[in-house]
Amino acid sequence: MRKTLVVYLMSGPETPALAEAAVDAGADLVELGFPFSDPLADGPVIRRAAERALAEGMRTGACLELLAETRARLPETPLVPMTYSSLLEAYGWERFAEEACAAGATSLIVADLPAGDRPELRRIQLVAPTSTDERIRLAAAGTDGWLYLVTVTGTTGARDDLSPALAGLVDRARRATELPLYAGFGISTPEQAHAAAQLADGIVVGTSALEAAEKGAEALAAYVESLRGALDGAAVPA
Amino acid sequence: MELTYGEYGGRFVPETLIPALDELEAGWHEAWADEAFRAELDELGRSYAGRPTPLTLAERFAPGKRLYLKREDLLHTGAHKLNNALGQALLALRLGKRRIVAETGAGQHGVAAATVCARFGLDCVVYMGAEDMRRQRPNVERMGLLGAEVCAVEFGTRTLKEATSEAIRDWIGSVEKTHYLIGSCVGPQPYPEIVRELQAVIGREARGQILELEGRLPEVAIACVGGGSNAIGLFAGFLDDSEVRLVGVEAGGAASLGSGRTAVLHGSRSSVLADADGQVLDADSISAGLDYPGSGPEHAFLRDSGRAEYVTTSDEEAVEAFRRLARTEGIVPALEPAHAFARVAELDEQLVLLNLSGRGDKDLEEVLAR
């Protein structure tokens, strides 16, 4: 079965074109970062990207417009805004969800809104190696379509090796749900992508995708192709 | 989510931290209900920290009033921060955490954290904004002497907000073996409650002392507010005494209660300096300890309920009060409580209790340069 490749991009004027390039190169789902000034879950690369995006005026309204533009280019691809509670608090929780949906969002990720809180807000839940089995069940029961496995005890950003905690987390999550499990945080290389996909149903890349995207659509496409190849089992480096 | 203080509080943090917060909350409630824990903390307060701290009548600073100062500046390490650090260190030991991570603005909480870690043999990492390291050099050197590792935060404003975010990120990556020793009554539940209870010793002592000295309660209890831990500690002694007016004093450029809006910062929903999109704004104050765009959720609740009121003092007024207290009373306050001193003269009431939360040695360079 095809493994799902999720690519995270920070909102910016180039985002619709970058998202299209990523999908053409083999991405199955695109997360769109709506930047927040104080993103606790993010390492330095995504933080700096958020800081730049805010300096460029990427506030909630502008991000929703970019989402709609991206949707116009990619009618079939799931698009998921990823952000923090403070933006929803300011915009209005329901209003944010409604307008994101109207702009083409497939679902939503709120990095600092744990499972169990605001269950009425449909979103993709995250679980981590530190989550108890009870919390994994709670997250699985409330999640929207798939479960996001945070592979590391830590923030976003590339690591040298695939987290050894992933295997155990996948086992525990499988016992809680039959929904697809996509692994993210700390996955950057094709080797790591391949290894993670042996365990999970898909992978999420953020930090390294942003670094590639900063070099332009071609660099992003080349990076996404390398991951697609690794996931498909073709051209897997030894 | 259970919001502890009316519509404020909560736990807006990544999932990774939720089990640790559950463990902390359970461990805290168990410890706080344990007489042996409380007795050990009280004994450390007496024999190590120097509690009880005295009340001093400041007649020359405030002629015509009876202004009493609660002398937390005389506490070991020179500020009220040690009350909280001692309690949380005991809690960390109880939870089996041997590594402490903390944030600091003025450096007073960092020094308190480094001090208790030295006292109990714990590893200590303190995150501090690079700009604050410049402003508060003596405290940086003290932390080093006490064996703490001070990590410069070169991100954003390079002040307390970014230092707090970095400390939380460290904790996200080290949560299994690390206790996050937060310095103020902010952060995700149960931190605002823990810090408030550990600082409540200030108000409890002061209430008894002023009753003994004056035979009545103060008409006003006043304290500076950054995150708000010294103020909540003072207020805690008088919350049920509806005749005591409670006044918090914010820095003019960091008035998160006076001119903030509801937003989410550092894991809790509170009154924050934020724009209409929920993006957190930069605070701006001469006082590194007040230079923070958020405030404790309980303060936001007390403001909304009308039980406490919050006013502001400018940088210039704080410096003037700093100099005047030195000249009139022979006491050099920290710049943070100098903000509270600046508002005393205009109070209508006569019997005033002010929390002198820390001493000003750390601020000499900053004040003398102006």
Rounded Cα distance, B267 and B180, in Å: 13
Nearest to B16 among A36, A87, A153 (CB): A153
pLDDT of residue A183: 97
pLDDT of residue B135: 82
pLDDT of residue B1: 59
Q: Tell me if chain B has a CB within 8 Å of the CB of A41.
A: yes
Which residues of chain B lie closer than 8 angstroms to A150, CB-CB?
Answer: 14-16
From A26-30, A59-63, B51-55, B362-366, the region with the lowest mean pLDDT: B362-366
pLDDT of residue A235: 41
* Fold of domain A4-234: TIM Barrel (3.20.20)
Which residues of chain B lie closer than 8 angstroms to A44, CB-CB?
Answer: 155
Of A14, A20, A28, A31, the active-site residue reads A31
B→A interface, C-beta within 8 Å: 1, 10-20, 155-156, 161, 165, 168-169, 172-176, 261-267, 269, 274-280
Cα angle at B324 between B319 and B329, to 5 degrees?
A: 135
Interval B46-68 mean pLDDT: 98
Residue type, B227: G
Tens digits of residue pLDDT in B146-156: 999 999 999 88
Contact B277 A60 (CB under 8 A): yes
Tens digits of residue pLDDT in B163-200: 999 999 999 999 999 999 999 999 999 999 999 999 99
Which residues of chain A lie closer than 8 angstroms to B17, CB-CB?
Answer: 130
Catalytic residue status for A31: yes
pTM of the model: 0.96
Contact B175 A86 (CB under 8 A): no
The distance of Cα B186 from the centroid of its chain, to the nearest Å, equals 9
Dmax over Cα atoms in chain A, in whole Å? 50
Q: Dihedral (C-alpha) A179, A182, A183, A188: value to the nearest 10 degrees?
A: 170
Determine contact, residues A157/A44, Cβ cutoff 8 Å: yes
Contact A126 B14 (CB under 8 A): yes
Q: Is the pLDDT of residue A2 over 50?
A: yes
Tens digits of residue pLDDT in B69-125: 999 999 999 999 999 999 999 999 999 999 999 999 989 999 999 999 999 999 999
What stretch of H or E contains A66? helix A60-73
Which residues of B participate in catalysis according to the annotation?
A: 81, 103, 357
pLDDT of residue A1: 84
Tens digits of residue pLDDT in B219-254: 999 999 999 999 999 999 999 999 999 999 999 999
| Residue linked to tokens 């987290």 | A163
Q: Is the pLDDT of residue B157 over 90?
A: no
Please state the domain extents for chain A: 4-234
Which residues of chain A lie closer than 8 angstroms to B168, CB-CB?
Answer: 40
Contact B14 A130 (CB under 8 A): no
How crowded is residue A76: how many other Cβ atoms within 10 Å of its Cβ?
Answer: 5
Interval B335-347 mean pLDDT: 98
- Token pair of B17 as six digits: 């931290």
Output the DSSP codes for B203-250: HHHHHHHHHHHHSS--SEEEEE-SS-HHHHHHHHTTTT-TTSEEEEEE
Rounded Cα distance, B340 and A167, in Å: 55
- Token pair of B295 as six digits: 């405030």
Contacts of A151 (CB under 8 A, 6+ apart): A129, A162, A163, A165, A166, A169, A183, A184, A185, A186, A187, A196
Nearest to B262 by CA among B251, B248, B273, B247: B273
From A65-69, B106-110, B336-340, the region with the lowest mean pLDDT: B106-110
Rounded Cα distance, B199 and B248, in Å: 15
Nearest to A83 by CA among A37, A146, A118, A44: A37
Contact B18 A117 (CB under 8 A): no
ipTM here = 0.95
Nearest to A112 by CA among B88, B152, B304, B280: B280
Residue A95 or B105, more confident:
A95
Nearest to A126 among B15, B155, B156 (CB): B15
